[in-house]
């Protein structure tokens, strides 16, 4: 027993000593004071990394700082220990990722950034900087936070930014006191802090790459690449799983409804603001949830709004959404951009969808028809398609071709979500950036009217001169010749929640564990990378790392070069495993979704219900009698029997290689939504218009015909009366003549 106890003590002492060797304090003097981080020796690198977690770049947004622009942090007279992540900004727990036994933290005191700095950068200086902005519509990752440890080991400084989102970041009272767009202001304040202090860590502000991930993260990043006061900060940009289009149509009335719900409405904006600041954290979240999830089941979203009530144009935070800045005001992005999505983004299934799926096919289908599909169409500005024939076409295309089971229904929703929320916006974005003049006429769907710009003045980083607000972006329209496009594909991938995708392909956020791995991957999965996963992780980091350093993902590599996407070469790089299965789906025609069918049934099962409610025979082939536009059942280039693993026919194009085939797949999706459905809608309008016109003409002519008819009838009656009178007179005269003859 004593020997065993001594052995345990020795093991503990050794473990402590190892950890002391792996993590050592390191201090840096910044503008606000001294901060102390940790010196860590990553497993996959020989270079020590200095980490500084939870560094404040602004004052806490609590009390009087709630719902107002961020303020620069005060100087502290103490040593600040930056060793732990700080809580994220407030968000609904139900919108966060799930995780058993994991503590989710959020707080209004949340404006912090996190840095990972190679030791060589501190000694030598001049290292490239990667600034990361993540975020979805209303939340960010809280359970598994992005770690820049392994990316920093590739020879760069990695910085992640925490900022306010949902109602805490986008509430606008339409006045200078609380103008809204606070999330953008937070990011600008973080850029300012980095500009003032990063040289102390060995960073080069002339070599900054902006990485945006997620719908709101990419949308915000696109704006910063176009904004007059921020675009000169960045040398390159990486945009993952998003586009330049707003992730959701922003509801202009949401802020007003939120204020009224909390009984804070007043004609005095100061009183209104103080009322909101007096409410508890829980009251605000509860009111926010009731706004975005109302009884009408129509999602309403907060986001950047126009602040044109500010007279001084240079004080405005919003100039216009990225789409309008490019198409209407000729703003351009003239730096190298790397952009892409995963092969099955919509497979990021949330608990709400699964809960309805567990209620059975009929209830799930009603939920999809009444709520999911209408909101998806509204989200993507397709609400104009509100006619029965259009709905029938969409219904047949996505739902009626497949067996009527809850699992196939969920798979169809995933397919629809992926196409209209990710693949279509990506296609429109890359085409707009490379051929803006030719494509403007094609974007006939109504876009959002949101606007935002800057209020925090950033030092001129490159030229040393103040940026001219009136001229930046207002150049002759040009295209981006350094646009690199990719799609990430990996079967049964794991996302940031730790969830495995059983629907084929790679779901939303499944690329991050590979880009920021292996540390992040092990943090989420609690296991090491497999040999295949390790190769993919190294490939991912190599390509992205080279792009961050040079602006080219394959510099000086002509034999396996990643070519830019342009009008002459629709090159889309496919990153991942089993690439041929993505492009040529003959082998996996029924495997990816069907092989995981039992696991999907388990996801949709309950203790009291059958695992899968089957309404019709699974083996029954789809009926083409309900095809509203009589599409042929012949396979034309891709097989949609399973989501995420589609067939691409390399013989469709004379363009060499598999890296152009994905373009044709995106082009077909675009053709369905932007060419076929509008034509169908126009034909419907023409038919109804002709019928309406004929009805109108008949209605206009009807009184005239009636008047003519009665006039003619009156005339006929008058003539008949005259004729009758004449007959009467003739008979009377004849009678008189006969009497006279008799007398004679």
Active site residues: 215
Torsion over CA of 358, 363, 368 and 374, rounded to 10 degrees? Answer: -140
H helix or E strand, kind and range, residue 54: strand 49-56
Are the beta carbons of 262 and 363 closer than 8 angstroms? no
Could you give the CA distance from residue 2 to residue 663 in angstroms, rounded to a whole number?
Answer: 70
**Residue 271: helix, strand or coil by DSSP?**
helix
One DSSP character per residue, 139-150 reads ----SS----HH
Could you give the CA distance from residue 227 to residue 456 in angstroms, rounded to a whole number?
Answer: 12
Could you give the CA distance from residue 112 to residue 60 in angstroms, rounded to a whole number?
Answer: 9
Within 13 Å and on the Cβ side, how many CA atoms surround 625?
2
Please give the DSSP secondary-structure letter assigned to residue 347: G
Are the beta carbons of 379 and 422 closer than 8 angstroms? no
| Residues contacting residue 522 through CB under 8 Å, at least 6 positions apart | 528, 529
Could you give the CA distance from residue 59 to residue 275 in angstroms, rounded to a whole number?
Answer: 21
Label residue 548 exposed, middle or buried (CB < 10 Å: 0-12, 13-18, 19+). buried
Could you give the CA distance from residue 563 to residue 552 in angstroms, rounded to a whole number?
Answer: 9
Could you give the CA distance from residue 462 to residue 221 in angstroms, rounded to a whole number?
Answer: 19
Please give the DSSP secondary-structure letter assigned to residue 239: E
Are the beta carbons of 523 and 512 closer than 8 angstroms? no
| Residues contacting residue 142 through CB under 8 Å, at least 6 positions apart | 88, 91, 96, 97, 104, 105, 106
Could you give the CA distance from residue 193 to residue 131 in angstroms, rounded to a whole number?
Answer: 12
Token pair recorded at residue 603: 């996801």
Could you give the CA distance from residue 182 to residue 456 in angstroms, rounded to a whole number?
Answer: 11
H helix or E strand, kind and range, residue 152: helix 149-152
Are the beta carbons of 432 and 480 closer than 8 angstroms? no
Neighbours of 449 (CB within 10 A): 14
H helix or E strand, kind and range, residue 20: helix 2-22
| Residues contacting residue 364 through CB under 8 Å, at least 6 positions apart | 356, 357, 406, 409, 410
């Amino acid at each position: 027993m004593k020997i065993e106890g001594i052995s345990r003590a020795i093991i503990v002492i050794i473990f402590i000593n190892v950890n002391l060797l792996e993590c050592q304090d390191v201090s840096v003097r910044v503008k606000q004071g001294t901060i102390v981080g940790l010196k860590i020796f990553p497993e996959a690198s020989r270079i020590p990394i200095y980490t500084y977690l939870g560094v404040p770049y602004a004052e806490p947004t609590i009390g009087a700082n709630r719902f107002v622009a961020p303020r620069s942090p005060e100087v502290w007279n103490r040593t600040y220990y930056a060793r732990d992540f700080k809580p994220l900004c407030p968000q609904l727990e139900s919108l966060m990722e799930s995780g058993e036994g994991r503590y989710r933290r959020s707080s209004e005191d949340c404006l912090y950034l996190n840095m990972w700095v190679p030791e060589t950068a501190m000694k030598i200086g001049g290292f490239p900087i990667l600034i990361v902005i993540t975020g979805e519509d209303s939340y960010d990752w809280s359970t598994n936070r992005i770690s820049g440890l392994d990316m920093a080991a590739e020879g760069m400084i990695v910085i992640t930014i925490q900022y306010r989102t949902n109602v805490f970041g986008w509430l606008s009272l339409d006045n200078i006191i609380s103008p809204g767009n606070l999330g953008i202001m937070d990011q600008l304040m973080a850029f300012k802090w980095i500009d003032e202090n990063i040289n102390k860590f060995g960073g080069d502000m002339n070599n900054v790459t902006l990485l945006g991930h997620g719908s709101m993260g990419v949308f915000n990043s696109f704006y910063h690449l176009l904004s007059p006061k921020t675009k000169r900060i960045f040398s390159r940009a990486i945009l993952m799983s998003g586009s330049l289009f707003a992730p959701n149509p922003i509801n202009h009335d949401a802020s007003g409804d939120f204020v009224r719900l909390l009984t804070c409405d007043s004609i005095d904006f100061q009183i209104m603001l103080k009322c909101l600041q007096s409410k508890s954290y829980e009251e605000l979240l509860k009111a926010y949830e009731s706004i975005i999830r109302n009884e009408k089941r129509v999602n309403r979203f907060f986001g950047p709004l126009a602040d044109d009530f500010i007279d001084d144009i240079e004080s405005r935070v919003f100039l216009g959404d990225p789409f309008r800045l490019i198409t209407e005001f000729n703003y351009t992005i003239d730096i190298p951009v790397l952009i892409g999505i995963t092969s099955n983004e919509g497979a990021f299934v949330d608990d709400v969808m699964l809960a309805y799926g567990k209620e059975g096919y009929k209830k799930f289908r009603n939920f999809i028809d009444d709520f999911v599909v209408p909101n998806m169409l509204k989200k993507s500005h397709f609400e104009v398609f509100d006619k029965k024939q259009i709905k029938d076409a969409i219904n047949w295309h996505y739902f009626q071709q497949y067996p009527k089971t809850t699992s196939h229904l969920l798979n169809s929703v995933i397919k629809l979500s992926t196409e209209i929320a990710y693949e279509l916006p990506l296609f429109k974005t890359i085409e707009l950036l490379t051929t803006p003049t030719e494509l403007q006429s094609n974007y006939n769907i109504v876009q959002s009217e949101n606007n935002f710009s800057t209020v925090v003045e950033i030092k001129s980083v490159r030229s040393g001169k103040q940026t001219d607000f009136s001229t930046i972006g207002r150049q002759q329209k040009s295209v981006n010749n350094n646009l690199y496009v990719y799609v990430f594909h990996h079967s049964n991938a794991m996302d940031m929640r730790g969830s495995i995708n059983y629907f084929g392909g790679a779901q939303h956020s499944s690329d991050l564990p590979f880009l920021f791995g292996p540390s992040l991957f092990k943090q989420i999965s609690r296991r090491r990378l497999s040999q295949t996963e390790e190769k993919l992780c190294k490939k991912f980091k190599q390509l992205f790392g080279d792009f961050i350093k040079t602006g080219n993902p394959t510099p000086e590599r002509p034999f396996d070069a990643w070519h830019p996407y342009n009008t002459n070469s629709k090159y889309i790089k496919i990153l991942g495993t089993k690439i041929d299965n993505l492009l040529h789906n003959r082998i996996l025609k029924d495997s990816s979704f069907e092989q995981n069918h039992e696991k999907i049934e388990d996801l949709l099962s309950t203790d009291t219900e059958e695992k899968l409610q089957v309404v019709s025979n699974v083996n029954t082939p789809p009926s083409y009698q309900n095809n509203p536009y009589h599409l042929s059942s012949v396979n034309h280039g891709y097989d949609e029997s399973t989501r995420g693993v589609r067939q691409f026919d390399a013989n469709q194009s004379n363009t060499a290689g598999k890296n152009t085939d994905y373009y044709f797949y995106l082009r077909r999706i675009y053709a369905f939504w932007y060419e076929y459905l509008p034509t169908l809608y126009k034909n419907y309008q023409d038919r109804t218009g002709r019928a309406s016109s004929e009805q109108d003409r008949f209605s206009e002519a009807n009184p005239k015909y009636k008047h003519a008819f009665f006039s003619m009838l009156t005339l006929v009656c008058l003539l008949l009366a005259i004729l009758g009178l004449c007959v009467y007179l003739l008979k009377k005269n004849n009678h008189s003549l006969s009497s006279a003859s008799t007398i004679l």
